[in-house]
């Protein structure tokens, strides 16, 4: 098996210039209106506004490095569903109800009990809403360029804010583009079977990469502290 490579993730953004009074509220209102009116996704007001999880979608929340490696492994299938990034966490949107399936899937795939840094957000949870006009503002994980910008406005977002690596597409039914347990396969505009990976494949790929990154870091830490190294005599 080929050696593990680090995923290329967006570079840290420079802080925006000081915002004028009222700017954050206006941008937040624009963001909420875009999600509610264009996508039909419920939101909660605030700075930043937040998306209600568990209604139109659930979320797999994973370390950004492992998430980027998983997207590389999935190849073209990884382009079929929205992916967001916030600091060192990646959020993969999956079909509503998928969060409830995660514990059973991890057990069935023999990943249970390993304490993987892999979480699912479902009904009753919230996630920061990436400003829709920031989509594509930064590079996506290697081999998966982010989609174009669905709106206009500020080209950047504040440091630490959530951004889309690949935004949801206006005019498409979200449910048809999200990974699910459906035995009939997922769909894209090109037809059945040409959409995102099924949830089992996605969870297994992500769990594998989370585990590999952890093992690699553990090995690096052991090497730094001389664990397992031959004794040196003066």
The predicted-structure confidence for 84-133, as pLDDT tens digits, reads as follows 999 999 999 999 999 999 999 999 999 998 999 999 999 999 999 998 86
> Once rounded to an integer, what is the mean pLDDT over residues 197-211?
95
Rounded Cα distance between 201 and 56, Å, is 21
Phi-psi region of 232 (alpha: psi -120 to 50; beta: other; left: phi over 0): beta
> Once rounded to an integer, what is the mean pLDDT over residues 176-192?
61
Position 174 pLDDT exceeds 90 = no
Across 16-25, 47-56, 203-212, least confident range: 16-25
Position 211 pLDDT exceeds 80 = yes
> Once rounded to an integer, what is the mean pLDDT over residues 172-180?
75
Give the pair of three-digit tokens for residue 114: 């390993």
pLDDT at residue 14, rounded to an integer: 42
pTM confidence score = 0.73
Q: Which residues pair with 187 in a beta bridge?
A: 192
Position 215 confidence tier, pLDDT thresholds 50, 70, 90 = very high
pLDDT at residue 67, rounded to an integer: 97
Position 233 pLDDT exceeds 70 = no
Residues found in the chain: 234
pLDDT at residue 222, rounded to an integer: 53
pLDDT at residue 46, rounded to an integer: 92
> Does residue 84 contact residue 9 with C-beta atoms inside 8 Å?
no
> Does residue 36 contact residue 43 with C-beta atoms inside 8 Å?
yes
Gyration radius of the chain's alpha carbons: 19
> Does residue 102 contact residue 179 with C-beta atoms inside 8 Å?
no
Phi (first) and psi of residue 59, to 5 degrees: -135, 135
């Amino acid at each position: 098996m080929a050696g593990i490579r680090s995923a290329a993730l967006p570079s840290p953004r420079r802080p925006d210039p000081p915002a004028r009074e009222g700017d954050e509220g206006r941008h937040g209102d624009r963001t909420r209106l875009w999600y509610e009116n264009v996508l039909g996704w419920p939101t909660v007001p605030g700075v930043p506004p937040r998306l209600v999880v568990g209604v139109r979608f659930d979320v797999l929340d994973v370390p950004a490095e492992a998430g980027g490696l998983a997207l590389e492994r999935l190849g073209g299938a990884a382009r079929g569903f929205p992916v967001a990034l916030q600091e060192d966490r990646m959020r993969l949107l999956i079909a509503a109800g998928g969060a409830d399936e995660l514990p059973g899937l991890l057990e069935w795939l023999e990943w249970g009990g390993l304490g993987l840094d892999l979480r699912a957000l479902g009904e009753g949870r919230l996630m920061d809403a990436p400003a829709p006009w920031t989509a594509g503002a930064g590079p996506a994980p290697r081999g998966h360029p982010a989609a174009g910008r669905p709106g206009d406005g500020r080209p950047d977002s504040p440091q630490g804010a959530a951004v889309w690596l690949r935004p949801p597409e206006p005019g498409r039914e979200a449910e048809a583009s999200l990974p699910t347990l459906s035995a009939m396969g997922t769909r894209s505009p090109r037809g059945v079977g040409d959409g995102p990976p099924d949830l089992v494949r996605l969870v297994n790929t992500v769990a594998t990469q989370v585990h590999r990154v952890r093992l690699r870091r553990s090995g690096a830490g052991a090497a730094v502290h001389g664990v397992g190294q031959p004794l040196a005599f003066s």
